[in-house]
């Protein structure tokens, strides 16, 4: 995975009409996506036994236009990772049909497929340039400010205001999964753990923590960068959840690592080697595996131990049913354990077996490698900023998935965030044209975030050069 590059200049080329249409679509489709992700799931459309949440309904509505756009856009090249995603979803649906009654299998498998494919297709089709990417990050940050403001109010008020209002608007009683959290025993640091507009405080915190690296790498100047990062950190703090805390800290650590290690040759390999050595020592000292160490990293020791029980019984269920997995309401577990599984990767393995989780991991890994591929052409600074911010975000979401299950709004969000960087994999935008290095030099695209790059910009000193002098 290439993390470094040599900045240079780029030849201006006419922007294809397809890209202009994508930009027009991204101005309203991507913002609406973030709105429906942030809407409470109570505002769902119920058709017979099917419940269509705002995010699921929007994904179903947009999926066909998005695919039509992908197939007609001359700037789009379907890549291997696109087909791997299709394989993952097809096998997952098949496995769910095998383990559930026909009606439930069609509904559950279809819902997971539509949400993942629809969210991914939106990002894939309507984020085609740096301008689209920066605009999406801007909308994302604005959404965080709104949901965080609601979370702060809820935390001090001591109850889930948004869900209370939502259930009363639809004429239903507030369910136990919300009111049970009103007991003071579930408070942390003397504060109520807010839901905001999400189904759980962990989902709210994970949504906010996902923006950390994007804000760091794409902010226009130092003052705005630290102001926005402070807002994100405050938003994550009020989730009062260890998973989002770990994600935010890891993102900040990766950003610091990127800045400190710029002059070091082969910094990725050296860092991976050092981390593996440290983890090996911890594994030997704690007598636990790597995944168990990450799973048990929580603010509440009881929660950490409980998650280890989930991993023990859940992974055993996958080992016993490796091909098609199992039904989640039938897995063998201790008498004191509920059906809740706080691990996205484990849930997908239990639902779809090893072929499904293998395809999902291959999909994420292949798109990461493709975006971060080494090129013979010098990479421009603005592309490197987008690449690093997106790469660190996806890595953090993958690690957080070991302690958080992405359901509901966050399931669609997860696949959208992966698709958000796909434009860097199937285009050469952001690489200098070596054949004509001094003709019609183009400045860095403008947008909500990012610093203008002067045509006279000089490469950073040293053999290993990178995105910005943060």
DSSP 183-200: SGGG-BTTB----TTSSS
Which range, of 121-130, 333-342, 425-434, 443-452, averages the lowest pLDDT?
A: 443-452
Pairwise CA distance, residues 247 & 257, whole Å: 15
Scored b (16 or more CB within 10 A) or e, 325-340 reads bbbbeebebeeeeeee
Phi-psi label, residue 158: left if phi above 0, alpha if psi -120 to 50, beta otherwise: left
C-alpha separations of 348 from 95, 214, 367 in Å: 11, 27, 19
Identify the DSSP state of 1.
-
Provide, rounded to the nearest whole percent, the portion of the chain with pLDDT above 70. Answer: 82
Taking the alpha carbons of 169, 174, 178, 179 in that order, is the dihedral positive or negative?
A: positive
Q: Please report the pLDDT score of residue 460 as a whole number.
A: 33
pLDDT higher for 20 or 430?
430
**Residue 9 in this model has a pLDDT that exceeds 80:** no
**Residue 462 in this model has a pLDDT that exceeds 60:** no
Q: Please report the pLDDT score of residue 16 as a whole number.
A: 47
Pairwise CA distance, residues 290 & 282, whole Å: 9
- What pTM does this model have? 0.85
Cα–Cα nearest to 262, from 422, 398, 424, 381: 381
Instruction: Taking residues 119-142, report their average pLDDT.
Output: 95
Which range, of 44-48, 69-73, 236-240, 431-435, averages the lowest pLDDT?
A: 431-435
The answer for residues whose C-beta is within 8 angstroms of residue 292's C-beta and 6 or more apart is 308, 311
**Residue 470 in this model has a pLDDT that exceeds 60:** no
What are the tokens at 349? Answer: 């393995």
Q: Please report the pLDDT score of residue 135 as a whole number.
A: 94
Which range, of 50-59, 190-199, 245-254, averages the lowest pLDDT?
A: 50-59
- Report the chain's mean pLDDT, rounded to a whole number: 83
**Residue 63 in this model has a pLDDT that exceeds 70:** yes
Residue position matching structure tokens 């997971």: 112
Cα–Cα nearest to 384, from 332, 436, 424: 424
Pairwise CA distance, residues 207 & 184, whole Å: 25
Cα–Cα nearest to 464, from 8, 9, 7, 4: 4
Q: Please report the pLDDT score of residue 8 as a whole number.
A: 33
Instruction: Taking residues 356-373, report their average pLDDT.
Output: 95
Residue position matching structure tokens 């953090």: 396
Pairwise CA distance, residues 399 & 353, whole Å: 20
Q: What is the pLDDT of residues 297-346, one digit of tens each?
A: 665 666 777 788 888 888 899 999 999 999 888 888 888 887 788 899 99
Secondary structure (DSSP) of 326-366: --TTS----TT--S----HHHHHHHHHHHHHHHHHHHHHHH
Q: Please report the pLDDT score of residue 424 as a whole number.
A: 94
Q: What is the pLDDT of residues 90-108, one digit of tens each?
A: 999 999 999 999 988 999 9
**Residue 15 in this model has a pLDDT that exceeds 50:** no
Instruction: Taking residues 100-118, report their average pLDDT.
Output: 92
The answer for residues whose C-beta is within 8 angstroms of residue 458's C-beta and 6 or more apart is none
């Amino acid at each position: 995975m290439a993390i470094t590059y040599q900045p240079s200049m780029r030849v201006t080329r006419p922007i294809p009409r397809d890209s202009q249409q994508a930009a027009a679509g991204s101005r309203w489709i991507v913002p609406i996506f973030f709105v429906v992700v942030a809407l409470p799931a109570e505002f769902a459309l119920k058709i017979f036994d099917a419940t269509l949440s705002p995010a699921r309904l929007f994904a179903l509505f947009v999926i066909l236009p998005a695919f039509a756009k992908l197939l007609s856009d001359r700037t789009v090249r379907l890549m291997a990772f696109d087909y791997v995603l299709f394989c993952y979803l097809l096998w997952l649906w098949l496995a769910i049909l095998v383990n559930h009654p026909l009606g439930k299998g069609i509904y559950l498998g279809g819902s997971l497929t539509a949400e993942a494919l629809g969210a991914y297709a939106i990002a894939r089709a309507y984020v085609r340039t740096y301008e689209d990417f920066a605009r999406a990050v801007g909308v994302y940050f604005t959404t965080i400010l709104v949901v965080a403001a609601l979370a702060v109010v809820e935390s001090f008020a001591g109850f889930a205001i948004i869900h209370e209002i939502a259930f009363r608007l639809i004429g239903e009683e507030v369910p136990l999964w919300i009111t049970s959290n009103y007991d003071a025993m579930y408070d942390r640091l003397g504060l109520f753990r807010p839901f905001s507009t999400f189904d759980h405080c962990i989902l709210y915190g994970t949504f906010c923590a996902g923006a950390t690296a994007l804000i760091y790498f794409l902010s226009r100047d130092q003052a705005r960068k630290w102001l926005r990062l402070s807002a994100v950190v405050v938003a994550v703090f009020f989730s009062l959840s260890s998973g989002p805390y770990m994600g935010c800290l890891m993102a900040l650590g990766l950003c610091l690592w990127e800045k400190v290690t710029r002059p070091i040759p082969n910094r990725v390999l050296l860092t991976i080697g050092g981390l593996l050595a440290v983890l090996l020592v911890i594994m030997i000292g704690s007598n636990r595996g790597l995944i168990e160490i990450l799973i048990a990293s929580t603010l509440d020791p009881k929660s950490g131990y409980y998650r280890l029980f989930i991993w023990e019984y859940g992974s055993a269920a996958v080992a016993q049913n490796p091909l098609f997995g199992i039904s989640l309401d039938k897995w063998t577990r201790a008498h004191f354990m509920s059906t809740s599984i706080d691990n996205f990767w484990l849930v997908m393995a239990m639902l779809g077996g090893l072929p499904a989780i293998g395809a999902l991991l291959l999909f994420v890994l292949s798109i990461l490698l493709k975006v971060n591929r080494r090129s013979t052409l010098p990479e421009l600074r603005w592309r490197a900023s987008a690449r690093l911010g997106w790469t660190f975000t996806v890595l953090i979401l993958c690690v957080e998935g070991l302690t958080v299950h992405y359901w509901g709004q966050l399931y669609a969000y997860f696949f959208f965030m992966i698709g958000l960087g796909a434009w860097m994999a199937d285009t050469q935008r952001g690489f200098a044209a070596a054949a004509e290095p001094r003709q019609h030099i183009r400045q860095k695209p403008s947008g909500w975030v990012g610093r203008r790059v002067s045509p006279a910009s000089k490469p950073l000193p040293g053999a290993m050069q990178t995105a910005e002098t943060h």
